[in-house]
Amino acid sequence: MPFQFIYEDGKGHVLNEHEHYSYEFKKIIVDECLENPQIPTTVIAAKYGLKVPRTAQRWAEAFRKHGDEGLMRKQHGGRKPVLNESHKAYLTALFDDNPAATIDEAVDGLTKDFVGLEIKRSAV
């Protein structure tokens, strides 16, 4: 099961491990922007410690166009991972049992134990 680390940035903002703001944080700012149209978005952004005020404006625009979906983190395309959870479990066990194991040993072990798997060192 995939997971991510969530942390606070020291200013009370919730971010994930890639320093993306959480949906909840974005929603707070957007709600305040929409409830107080007389207050410039730049002032609201500064209040919440956003480094780039335009970010709050983009969030508000996205919310107006797409609702809550506009504030959700979008999945980007890209190559699918070669290694699945069982491969990762194998590697974890290998390096837990033998911390001095090399990448080459890991690749060799994976290709022997998982029939049909073809990987390069960079995948490990």
Tens of pLDDT along 78-102?
777 788 889 999 999 999 999 999 9
Q: Based on the domain organization, do 57 and 94 belong to the same domain?
A: no
Q: Based on the domain organization, do 61 and 104 belong to the same domain?
A: no
Q: How confident is the model at residue 12 (pLDDT cuts 50, 70, 90)?
A: low
Residues sharing a CB contact under 8 Å with residue 106, sequence separation 6 or more, in sequence order:
91, 94, 95, 124
Q: Based on the domain organization, do 64 and 91 belong to the same domain?
A: no
> Residues 33-75: pLDDT tens digits?
999 999 999 999 988 888 888 989 999 999 999 999 999 877 6
CB 46 within 8 A of CB 39: no
Does residue 19 lie within any of the structural domains? Answer: yes
List the domain range (segments joined by +) for residue 105.
85-123
Q: Based on the domain organization, do 112 and 59 belong to the same domain?
A: no
Structural domains in the chain (count) = 2
- What are the structure tokens assigned to 75, written together? 């999945």
Q: Is the pLDDT of residue 31 over 90?
A: yes
Q: Is the pLDDT of residue 15 over 70?
A: no
CB 36 within 8 A of CB 25: no
Q: Rounded CA gap, 82 and 123, in Å?
A: 7
Does residue 33 lie within any of the structural domains? Answer: yes
Does residue 80 lie within any of the structural domains? Answer: no
Q: How confident is the model at residue 18 (pLDDT cuts 50, 70, 90)?
A: very low
E strand segments, 1-124: 6-8, 14-16
Q: Based on the domain organization, do 18 and 59 belong to the same domain?
A: yes
Q: Based on the domain organization, do 63 and 90 belong to the same domain?
A: no
Q: Which residue has the tokens 């959870």?
A: 85
Does residue 113 lie within any of the structural domains? Answer: yes
Q: Based on the domain organization, do 63 and 92 belong to the same domain?
A: no
Q: Rounded CA gap, 29 and 56, in Å?
A: 7
* pLDDT reported for residue 7: 53
> What average pLDDT does the segment 98-120 reach?
91
* pLDDT reported for residue 30: 94
Q: Is the pLDDT of residue 1 over 50?
A: no
